[in-house]
Structure 1
C-alpha cells in the first residue's frame, strides 16, 4: 500500500514543510461574519456544543457561530455541497463522498474515533456469521452502511447475503425493539436507548474491531480556506479548548453534550467511553501521519466495498494539517 521508504520520507518532508509555510500565513484574528457548522446528533461532535455553551467561540473571536443540526447524512452532505454550510463535522467516508462528487473541500481536523459507539445490535442472533438471509435495518450511505459491509466482509459475506431494510439511524434501533427486524445498525445515543428498552437486545459487533474505520473529521470549503482562514483557525482552537474543558470537567461536559443530542448523561454513561476525541496536540501526532497514510485509505476501501464510493482513491492534498500546526503554536 505504501511506496518505498525513501519516497515516503521525502513526501512527508514535503508535506510538513508546505504545512509549516501555510501555518505561518494564517491570521491569528478571525475574519468577521457568521460561521455555520453542520452536525448530526452524535456525541462525537460534543465539543462544539461545549464551545457554544461556555462562550469559547466568542473568546476566540467568533461572534456568530451557528450549529446546524441534520438528522440524516445525505442532508448534511447536500447542504455542504450546496454551499449552505461553511464547515461540517462528518464521518471520514462522507467527506470522501462529497469530495469525489466534485465539491472542493479539505479535512483540517480529526475529531474522533468511534470504538464502541457505532455498533450492530441483534435479538435472537448471536454473531455476524448468523446474519445470512436475515433482515438488517440501517441507514444507507452512513457510518452504519460502512460498518455492516465491513462486518459481513470480515465474515466471508457481502451485503447481498442479507435483506436490506433502509431507514434513518434514529429509527433503526426502534425497529429492532419493535420486532420489525432481528438486526439493526446504529450509533449513540440510539444504541443506549434501544438496549435500555429491551434486555434481549445485545451488541454483536462494534466499530472497535477496526479502530478508525468509523471516524469523524472537520471539513471546510477550499474557498473558505482562501477567504477566511482566520475563522478556521479560531474554530480549531475552540474545539481544543472545549475538549480540554470536557476532560477537566467530565460531569458538566457530558451533561452539555447529552442535552445537545437529546439524551441524558446517565443514558450515555457507557457510550462516552466508546468515543476517543482528538485534541490539537493529538492531531499534530496523527492527522498528517498515520491518519493520512493508513486510516483514511482503509476507510476509502471499506466505503468502496459498500458501494458508497465509486473509487477508493483519496484526492491529493485532501488533508490540510496547516491549521492544526498553527493552532499548536
Structure 2
C-alpha cells in the first residue's frame, strides 16, 4: 500500500511540475531592426547603446550596419535593406525629393567645427581657392559646405578645380600635395592636422549653424507597423546620450573605438558636435529645424541635388518625440 501511495505522490509531483512549466509566461519577443550608419562621431550614441545593452533593455535586436561612403548607406536604405538610417539632413531632403517614402523622426546632431575645409598654409581665404584643386566627396556634407563657403565669397564650383573623391581620402590627398585644399570631417580632420603642421583649417561648419547636421530616418512603410519600435529606438538614443553626458570619458572611448581612432585624437572633434536629445527635438522638429531645412534645401538646390525645392511638410514626423 505504501508503495502505491509513493508512486501516486511521484506522479502528482511530476504532473504539477509539468503544468508549471507550461503555465510559465513566454519571454517577450525581440524585435529586429537594421540601422545604417557610418564612422562619424555624430552617430556615437548608437554605439554607446550597443555597448551598454540598451537595445536589449527595450526588447530590440539592433544590427548597426556600417558603411564608408554616403552613397552606400543611401542605396542600402533606399533599397529597403535597412529599416532606419543615420544620414545628413540634405541627404534626407534628396531622398524625399525623388519619392522615397521615409520619415525624419529625430535630429541627432549639428556640426560646428567637425566639418571643415583644410588647406595648405599659403592659402588664407576662400577667395584664394580660385583656380586651386579642391578634393571633396560629391553630394555629401563636404559638397554642401564647400558650395556654401564659395557662394559667401562670390565664387562657385566653376572657379575652382574640383577633385571628387571619398571624404576619407580627401585629407590624405591634400597631405600628398596633389590638391591645395580638401573638404572632410572628423575623425579625418584631426588625423590630418596631427600628421602635418603645414595644413590648417580654413573654414568650419559653424559659419552656418545647422547647415551640416544629421538626422535619423525610418522607412515610412516599416514604421507604420512598428510605431512602438520607433519610439523605443528614440528612448535608446536618449538614454545613450544621457550616458554620454554622465560618463564622457568612457562614452568617448566607445565612440572612438567604433570610428577607429584614439579618444585623445578626437577631443576637438567631440567639441565640434552638438547632440540633440528627445526633449530638444520636441522644439526643433516643430520650430527651429524647419527654418534650417529651408536653408539646407536652398544650398542643396545650388549644388544640383534637385531642380526645384519640393514641399517637405510630409517629411518630418514629430509624433514619436511627443
How does the TM-score come out when normalised to structure 2? 0.89
Single out whichever of 243-252 and 99-108 deviates more from structure 2.
Answer: 99-108
Q: Taking structure 1 as reference, are residues 31 and 284 closer, same or farther at Cα in structure 2, changes over 3 Å only? A: farther
Matches within 5 A, 1:132-211: 132-211=130-209
Q: Where in structure 1 do 4 or more consecutive aligned residues deviate above 4 Å? A: none
Residue in 2 aligned with 1:285? 283
Residue in 2 aligned with 1:66? 63
Deviation at 1:102, TM superposition (A): 1.4
What does the per-residue CA deviation read over 1:221-246, in whole Å, with 9 as the maximum and x for residues that have no partner? Answer: 11122111111111100000000000
Of 92, 96, 106, which residue of structure 2 is paired with 1:109?
106
Deviation at 1:31, TM superposition (A): 7.6
Deviation at 1:33, TM superposition (A): 3.1
Is the 2:86–2:217 contact (alpha carbons within 8 Å) kept by the matching residues of 1? Answer: yes
* RMSD of Structure 2 on Structure 1 (CA): 1.1
Deviation at 1:315, TM superposition (A): 2.4
What does the per-residue CA deviation read over 1:21-64, in whole Å, with 9 as the maximum and x for residues that have no partner? Answer: xxxxxxxxx984320111111000000000000001111121x1
Matches within 5 A, 1:315-326: 315-325=312-322
Q: Taking structure 1 as reference, are residues 255 and 219 closer, same or farther at Cα in structure 2, changes over 3 Å only? A: same
Residue in 1 aligned with 2:129? 131
Give the paired residue count.
294
What does the per-residue CA deviation read over 1:145-182, in whole Å, with 9 as the maximum and x for residues that have no partner? Answer: 00000000000011111100000000001001111111
Is the 2:110–2:213 contact (alpha carbons within 8 Å) kept by the matching residues of 1? Answer: yes
Report SS of the residue matched to 1:203.
strand
| Structure-1 separation of matches of 2:57 and 2:164 | 43
| Structure-2 separation of matches of 1:118 and 1:309 | 23
What does the per-residue CA deviation read over 1:170-214, in whole Å, with 9 as the maximum and x for residues that have no partner? Answer: 000100111111100000000000111110100000100000000
Of 288, 296, 300, which residue of structure 2 is paired with 1:299?
296
| Structure-2 separation of matches of 1:73 and 1:204 | 24
Deviation at 1:95, TM superposition (A): 0.6
Residue in 2 aligned with 1:77? 74
Deviation at 1:277, TM superposition (A): 0.1
Deviation at 1:311, TM superposition (A): 2.5
Report SS of the residue matched to 1:34.
strand
Report SS of the residue matched to 1:171.
helix
| Structure-2 separation of matches of 1:103 and 1:33 | 24
| Structure-2 separation of matches of 1:313 and 1:114 | 25
Unmatched 5+ residue regions in structure 2?
1-27
Residue in 2 aligned with 1:15? none
Residue in 2 aligned with 1:241? 239
Residue in 2 aligned with 1:92? 89
Is the 1:31–1:228 contact (alpha carbons within 8 Å) kept by the matching residues of 2? Answer: no
Unmatched 5+ residue regions in structure 1?
1-29
Of 117, 120, 123, which residue of structure 2 is paired with 1:120?
117
Deviation at 1:308, TM superposition (A): 2.1
